[in-house]
Every structure is written in structure tokens, then in C-alpha cells.
Amino acid sequence: MRRPWKTVCFSLVMLSTGCTLLPWMSRGDKDPKPVLPTEVPTAGDLVDYLNRQAAKVSMIEAQDLEIDVKAQGQSPPSLSGKLFCQKPRNFHLTGKVFGNDEVLAGSNHEKFWFWIKRMEPEPYLFHCSYAEYAKGGVRMPFPFQPEWVVEALGMGEYDPSAAYRVEPKGNYFHLIQDTTLPGGQPVKKVVVFNAVRVQPPQPQVVGYFLQDQAGKVICSAKVVETRVDPKTFAVYPRRIELHWPMQQMQMTLTLDKVSINRTLPQELATRLFNMPAWTHVKTYDLARRTEGSPTSYVRPASGIAAQRR
């Protein structure tokens, strides 16, 4: 059981959905069987859609979070906890098993951190500044970019001036951007749209993929179910499936008791979005890159080719 728990720790660090603003999604008809659009949308259409949805949400809070993991053929007990995500980088996630703290992951503008009780060789509180992470070479088990957290919750904002392309794939449209990981490795980020108009709980944006240049999936987020916030009318994911094929791992996040755009008391925000000053747990800076370190078993995030050896 220990090996899956180690995998859970890192996957919680990298944790994509949408709404209804494209031309074929805004019709007033009530046809229960919508047809495929006659024209492929432009990249600008899809980027505009994502940005309009993201503009409705500045913060998501889930007071009832369930985390289910399958790793290397094993399924540890489900974790229950809470999640807070506030643009642009504030993040706080906790997970418990039978009432006992098992997982903590967090972030603010300057750094991110994570801890797991069952980590080997011992439960360090790992942390890294975003400035150091951007230089590449930080030892992480999965490729990770800070904006993935907000993208996975439908809060990601996309640069309209960046280069994208659209590829029809059956009943879906793929919005593709060529980009790089920290360290310079070229990858493709893909956002998958349902080509027909749907309403929650069905997702309009059904998934996000990170692929290497050969087209192999490095990691993915599948939006299984969505909800509509009655105050903001924002669509947010209730259930997301995260998958890392090379690590033979899948994680399902289910969000309940959700609040959108709640203003947090300053004292609570300070506590949530600052790394805990624990005295009973050792800390380790992931950017140190020292031999024989607690992360010596962790592969560099920017070296996908090396991960396959």
C-alpha cells in the first residue's frame, strides 16, 4: 500500500472545464438532439469561449472533496478533504483518511509545497519557488506547470495572441498549442471540446491533454460531470479524472458543497495560502538538486525521455 501513497503525494501538486458561448452553443432551440456544426470554429472562437467562462470564476471552494486513486494496480482508501483555489496561484488542498491527516498541497504567488504522511523515506514538507521551477531541472515525478491547477477547475485564462490550431476529431474539436515545459522540452497542450451543444451535468469542455511531440499522452484531465453556480451562472467541474499513463495512475476528484467567488476572511486566507511553519516535520527545497537528497528517487519533470528509460 505504501507505493500508491507516494504517488498520490506528487499527483496532488498538479491538478480543465467550460460553459456555453460558441455560436452553435447559444441557439435558443430546445432540440434534444443537437447536430454537429456545419463549420469548424476558429481558434479565436474557442479561446474566447474559455476566457469568458474563466472570467466568471475567481475562486472555487469545495468543503467536501473526495479523492479516489488507482495506482499500479492498487487502490488505497479514499481521501476526504477540502479544496480552495483562487486566481492566479493560491491553492490549498487537504486529504484525510478515517479523520487522520494524510495529504497537504498548497501554493501562493511565490511558491508551492506538498506533504504526505506516508511518504518514503520520511514525510518531508517539500517546497519550491516558481522562479526556480521555471528554470527547469527541479526534480518532480510528473511534468507540472502552475496554471494547470486553475485550468483543471475551468479558471484558466488563455492568451488570445498565442498560436493555436483547431483539429476536428469525430464529434470533438481539439484546440492545440505547441509549448514547452520548464527546461525547454517541447510539448502539445490540447483542450477537447464537445462539438455539439450540451448542458450540465454534461461537460462542454470534456478534457485536457499534455502530449509529447510523438503524440503520446503524458497526463490528462477528463471532465466527467459539471454543475452550474446559481449566483454567477458559471459552470464548474464536479468530477474530474486525472490520468498519468506512464505512471499507471488515475485519480478522481469529486467536489461537493462548492462555493464560487466567496470572499475569504483575511486571517483564513493567510493561513490557507502560506506554507505551514511546522516544527515537527522536516522541510526540503526541491530546487536544491543535491545528490542523496530526499528526492533522489524522483525523476526530473523536464526529462520525459529520461522518464521512459
Domain residue spans of the chain: 2-15+36-307
**What is the structure's pLDDT at 309?**
29
Reduce the DSSP state of residue 44 to 3 states and report it.
Answer: helix
- Spatial separation of the C-alpha atoms in residues 274 and 268, rounded to whole Å: 10
Partners of 254 in the beta sheet? 66, 239
**What is the structure's pLDDT at 261?**
97
Lowest mean pLDDT among 2-11, 82-91, 182-191, 299-308: 299-308
pLDDT exceeds cutoff 80 at 5: no
What is the pLDDT confidence band of residue 4, given thresholds at 50, 70 and 90? low
- Spatial separation of the C-alpha atoms in residues 253 and 223, rounded to whole Å: 10
Q: What is the CATH number of domain 2-15+36-307?
A: 2.50.20.10
Share of the chain above pLDDT 70, in %: 78
In the chain, DSSP assigns E strands to 59-71, 79-86, 90-97, 100-107, 111-116, 125-129, 165-169, 172-180, 186-194, 205-211, 217-228, 235-244, 249-260, 283-285
**Per-residue pLDDT reduced to its tens digit, 7-45:** 554 455 444 333 333 444 443 344 444 455 668 899 999
pLDDT exceeds cutoff 70 at 194: yes
**What is the structure's pLDDT at 116?**
83
Higher pLDDT, 291 or 189: 189
**Per-residue pLDDT reduced to its tens digit, 60-97:** 999 999 999 888 778 888 999 999 999 999 999 999 99
The cell for 27 is 441557439
- Spatial separation of the C-alpha atoms in residues 105 and 112, rounded to whole Å: 8
The region that residue 287 occupies, defined by phi over 0 for left and psi between -120 and 50 for alpha, beta otherwise, is alpha
**Per-residue pLDDT reduced to its tens digit, 129-172:** 999 988 888 876 555 555 677 888 899 999 999 999 999 999 99
pLDDT exceeds cutoff 60 at 239: yes
- Spatial separation of the C-alpha atoms in residues 309 and 299, rounded to whole Å: 11
**What is the structure's pLDDT at 70?**
87
What is the pLDDT confidence band of residue 297, given thresholds at 50, 70 and 90? very low
Mean pLDDT of 182-186: 83
Higher pLDDT, 298 or 174: 174
81 near 93, Cβ under 8 Å?
A: yes
Q: How far is CA 38 from CA 34, 46, 203, in A?
A: 12, 16, 21
**What is the structure's pLDDT at 138?**
83
Lowest mean pLDDT among 18-22, 195-199, 265-269: 18-22
How, if at all, do strands 283-285 and 125-129 pair?
parallel
**What is the structure's pLDDT at 293?**
61
Average model confidence (pLDDT) across the chain: 82
